[in-house]
Amino acid sequence: MDLSISPADQAYRSKFRGWLNENLPTEFAKPDYMSLDDWNGKARTFREVQLKLFAAGYTGVHWPTEYGGQGGTLMQHIIVTEELSASHPLRFIDGLSMGLVAPTLLSRGTEAQKKEFIPKLLSGEHIWCQGFSEPNAGSDLANVKTSAVRDGDKYIVNGQKVWNTIAHIADYCVVVVRTNPNVPKHKGLSYLLIDMKSPGVIVRPIKQITEDAEYNEIYFDNVEVPADRLVGQENEGWNIAITTLMFERIMGDISTVPVFQKGLNNIIRLASNTLRKGKPIIKDPIYRQKLARLQVDLEVMRTNMYRNLSTLLKGEMPGPEGSIGKIFWSEFNQRLQETALEIMGPYGQLMKGSKWAKDDGRFAFEFLRARGNTIEGGTTEVQKNIIGERVLGLPKDSARASK
């Protein structure tokens, strides 16, 4: 595998960096926890910036022009993702739209769905969320109970979803529903695109340990969904859901490496500026080893990301090996944030708003938010089962299918 970036791609990176410096509002570059209580403001800023990126040809860089893309290369798309992830934390709002929904629609959607939804997603007109999990269907996603009953040219949807990131600002949701309760559970599922403004959709934010209400419950009460919003065939939604999850794991990998490099640089800065027994902590051999280990881990993650990328560059679909990166980045981030708190000592517990908090509570926020990393997108235990069964070919854990 050749890990070097071609001169043409390097030139593309420099051009994009120049464009970013000139065109992105400075408030967009603030850490996202700073405005954790202002989700409508975040959504507004996101749409404004997404539209600018779209107009300048920096969204959907490698996607077909007939759906609003630029017809460029996957490497150019990666360069844009890396640069934005490193400099503009709000990009996670489009993680779901661009990382999960668009690739699923491009590979499994109808021509009409691609033409209707992809351009609006690229321009920021539509923000998407993911409605998979339910109170009794998380790891065991096939256990979904939310029902969709066909009634002429529409489906009537009833049920409850939970933990749905940014559902409170989303325009549309990809939802896994049960269309046939009388067959083995993963055979009776379908995959619908639901307008979040439809009558009967109720969204209730859930406050997290960080104090931020980033995810939600969604209730569907006799919600009418046009039948042409079905992706794939009725009762074949399981395979479409798996496609979305494979993209979720592999794209998470790509956007997290530059974010973590920035986080590690912040922690190295923190270790240089924090004194213990009169000396900067960065001089302590124990912390030097910890920081070096984190940098080495990051390089492992980067190399694994390139391996996944080379699969995509060959035009192949992401496979179950995306679970390796998912385990690695989520556990890495927890180690990273724990190191920051160790360096800070008791100050590490102080949250945003405390006059004694360093960096306005950034490290405490990041530490608490990282706890969810090993759960979201499928838990570490479930990823291990996937690697064991589908990558290494070990015997099945159980009859249960996993998220």
Residue ranges in contact with ligand FAD by CB under 6 A = 129-133, 138-139, 163-165, 215, 372, 375-376, 378-379, 381-382, 385, 397, 400, 402-403
Q: How far apart are CA 332 and CA 318, in angstroms?
A: 22
d(CA 382, CA 57): 38
Rounded to 5°, angle at Cα 34 from 258 and 168: 90
Interstrand relation of 172-178 and 128-131 (parallel, antiparallel or unpaired):
parallel
In order, the DSSP letters of 90-114 are GGGHHHHIIIIIHHHHHHHS-HHHH
105/390 Cα distance (integer angstroms): 24
DSSP symbol at 389: I
* Whole-angstrom distance, CA of residue 196 vs CA of residue 204: 12
CB-CB contact of 253 with 321 (8 Å) = no
Closest CA to 377 of 334, 322, 315: 322
CB of 216 to ligand FAD, least distance (A): 9
Least distance (Å) between residue 152 CB and ligand FAD: 29
- What is the per-residue burial (b if ≥16 Cβ within 10 Å, else e) of 169-185? bbbbbbbbbbbeeeeeb
Q: Measured between alpha carbons, how far is 149 from 190 in angstroms, rounded to an integer?
A: 11
CB 24 within 8 A of CB 52: yes
Rounded CA-CA distance 197/294 in Å is 44
Number of C-beta neighbours around residue 272 at 10 A: 11
Say which DSSP state 137 is in: B
> Distance between CA 302 and CA 284 in Å, rounded?
27
H or E element, residue 190? strand 189-195
Residues in the chain: 403
Nearest-approach distance from CB 367 to ligand FAD, in angstroms = 14
Please measure the distance between the N-terminal and C-terminal CA atoms of the chain and give it in whole angstroms: 31
Q: Which residue is nearest to ligand FAD (CB)?
A: 138
Q: Which is nearer to ligand FAD, 121 or 382 (CB)?
A: 382
Query: Using alpha carbons only, what angle is made at residue 215 by residues 327 and 162, rounded to the nearest 5 degrees?
Result: 85
Shortest distance, CB of residue 141 to ligand FAD, whole angstroms? 7
Whichever of 69 and 138 has its CB closer to ligand FAD, that residue is: 138
> Both tokens of residue 45?
């800023």
Of the listed 248, 316, 338, 381, which one is catalytic? 248
Closest to ligand FAD by CB, 123 or 210: 210
With residue 55 as reference, give the H or E element that holds it: helix 39-55
Active site residue 248: yes
CB of 384 to ligand FAD, least distance (A): 8
Shortest distance (Å) from residue 26 CB to ligand FAD: 28
**What is the nearest approach in angstroms of ligand FAD to the Cβ of residue 220?**
14
Nearer to ligand FAD, 81 or 210 (CB): 210
CB of 318 to ligand FAD, least distance (A): 17
Closer by beta carbon to ligand FAD, 230 or else 241: 241
Positions marked active-site: 248
